[in-house]
Structure 1
Amino acid sequence: MRFETGVDIDASADRVWRVMTDVVRWPEFTPTMTTVEPLGDGPLSLGGRFRIKQPGLPPMVWQVNEFTDGRSFAWQATGGGVTTIGTHVLAPREGGVSVLLGIDQSGPLAPLMSLLVGGRTRRYVRTEAESLKRRCESGEDV
């Protein structure tokens, strides 16, 4: 199962990358995140682990399994018979950047999870993209 959404953001690639990778601050600007707690030191990077609590979902530990500085990262969480991979891709465009956010779910219970929470997952991914756009275009310090 794959859920994906894109958004054009009228801000510099550096700014969008800083906001997108400062994951512990996501709860400040998106209602789909209650807490994002680092389980180690340093900024988001390959191998980094984070405990994330989202409204209506159990807490999950996500580990960064792909990281291209300034361009993209992906992280993975496993639980309840489902492996979930979240992708975050930034692509420069004239006047700003395009961001593509995705959720891939696989495993024996992925079809059942899609039936149970697929609508919520789609809403969360869309809300996260819109929240990222608002935060990056707001001019607030990041």
Structure 2
Amino acid sequence: MREISTYIDIDASPGLVWEVLTDFARYPDWNPYIREVTGEIQVGATLALRTQPAKGRPVNFKARVTAVAEGIELRWAGGLPIPGLFGGDHGFALNPHNGGTRVIQDERFSGLLVPVMSSIIDRTLENFERMNRPLKEWAEAKASAGAGR
């Protein structure tokens, strides 16, 4: 198993950041990495995702929602069709921090192929960081406009 994690501090409430993270229809407006998500935000639901890595072609995959705690946590898990080869458990944790929100984005990779997927995992961390910056900008702009307060 291998885990990657990154965080960003956002000057907006956890509730407002949650609104941005769960408004999948708006992802193309601000999210350079996860370009499209469709599906319901409820445990057990299947999401269809399309990512656009900084280096490489778009990747389409399905994931199952594994945790939903409004304003606190969202997690989904997906992987290769053959169980045990390669999978990921991706999450967002929203923690109150200095009057705003610290968003921790992480993924736990598991399976036989993890050792040979090291460079892909490293690039995934870079793409999470690419996503964090515009998430901060989008949420802070909404907070400045008075939305979600």
Indicate the TM-score class for this superposition, using the shorter chain for normalisation: 0.7 to 0.9
Which residue pairs with 1:50 in the alignment?
47
Which residue pairs with 1:25 in the alignment?
26
Identity of aligned residues (%): 26
Cα-to-partner distance string for 1:94-119 (whole Å, 9 max, x where unaligned): 3211110001110011121223x123
The alignment status of 1:103 with 2:93, answered yes or no, reads no
CA contact 2:10–2:101 (8 Å) conserved in 1: yes
Displacement of 1:76:
0.2
Unaligned runs of 5+ in 1: none
TM-score scaled to structure 2, two decimals? 0.82
Which residue pairs with 2:67 in the alignment?
66
TM-score scaled to structure 1, two decimals? 0.86
What is the identity, as a one-letter code, of the residue corresponding to 2:138? R
What is the identity, as a one-letter code, of the residue corresponding to 1:62? A
Q: Point out the more displaced range, 80-89 or 22-31.
A: 22-31
CA contact 1:6–1:129 (8 Å) conserved in 2: yes
Which residue pairs with 1:79 in the alignment?
80
**Cα distance between partner residues in 2 of 1:35 and 1:70:** 21
Displacement of 1:57:
4.5
Displacement of 1:138:
1.3
**Cα distance between partner residues in 1 of 2:109 and 2:58:** 15
Return structure 1 stretches of 4+ with deviation > 4 angstroms.
none
Unaligned runs of 5+ in 2: none
Q: Point out the more displaced range, 83-92 or 125-134.
A: 125-134
What is the identity, as a one-letter code, of the residue corresponding to 2:92? H
RMSD of aligned residue pairs (Cα, Å): 1.9
Q: Point out the more displaced range, 50-59 or 97-106.
A: 50-59
Cα-to-partner distance string for 1:64-114 (whole Å, 9 max, x where unaligned): 111222210210011162111101000112321111000111001112122
**Cα distance between partner residues in 1 of 2:115 and 2:25:** 30
CA contact 2:24–2:36 (8 Å) conserved in 1: no
Which residue pairs with 2:128 in the alignment?
125
**Cα distance between partner residues in 1 of 2:126 and 2:97:** 25
